[in-house]
Amino acid sequence: MKKSPLKHFFDVTLQGIFWILPIVAIIMIILWVYNKIDMLANSIFGLVGFAPEHNEFLWVLIVVVLLVFVLYVVGHLMETRLANIFEALFSKIPVYSTLKDIIGIFNSSKQGENKVLVVVVKGFASQGYNIGLMYSQKESIMKDHYTVTLSQTPIPNGGYLFEVHKDNIFILEDASFDDNLQYLLSMGVKSFADITKTSPKDINELDNISKWLEKNTKN
């Protein structure tokens, strides 16, 4: 059923909102912390007669240095038991766990079951293959099936979920999440081989998901 222009406009706008929301939230938090440090530093340095309006560049530099130091301290605390306390508190908030997992996708250091895999999927056309993503390597509700996401272009945060049999999923180990994003944004103008700077491969050169999991479990 074809969408009306208004419905299409609403859906695309909503996708844009969800894409930009985390960025805006981070900027707002940083600005809020910056203002708090600015007020605190203003009060402290005001006691010793330091006038910010006469030393604007130095003042901004001091506040930025303090901001970076505070962010470092917070980041360091997140690696301690304090992080588990906050985790337990925030986990009570609805959809927090889901949002946490989505944000974790962009952490390129993640490995194992949380690593984002770029995959080649067989079976969505009479001939050829589709390039998709696996955000998790856990088996689906259907035995021997895994969840694969096929993203839209040029709006990469939209797409479709499919449960695909393991024999039809092949891993592009040379490709990353960022490579796939570039591919989608280029709308196919740039080939995946160009983006990953590798030569085209035969499908028999790629490991399927079963072989990849077996190899990485041993490692």
Tens digit of pLDDT for each residue in 128-173? Answer: 888 999 988 889 899 999 999 888 777 766 788 899 999 999 999 8
Q: What amino acid occupies position 212?
A: W
135 vs 37, 93, 103, 147, 183, CA distance in Å?
Answer: 38, 23, 12, 8, 17
DSSP string, 132-147: EEES--SB-SSTTEEE
User: Which sign, positive or negative, has the C-alpha torsion 85, 87, 88, 92?
Assistant: positive
In this predicted structure, what is the pLDDT of residue 60? Answer: 73
Structure tokens, 99: 């949002």
- The pLDDT tens digits for 89-124 are 666 665 556 556 555 555 544 454 457 889 999 877
DSSP 1-14: -PPPHHHHHHHHHH
Per this entry, what is the length of the chain?
A: 219
Which long-range contacts (C-beta less than 8 Å, at least 24 apart) are formed by 131-135?
A: 131/172, 131/180, 131/183, 131/192, 132/162, 133/177, 133/180, 134/169, 134/209, 135/105
Is the CB of residue 124 less than 8 Å from the CB of residue 116?
A: no
pLDDT tens profile 40-88: 766 766 666 666 566 667 767 777 787 788 777 777 666 666 666 666 6
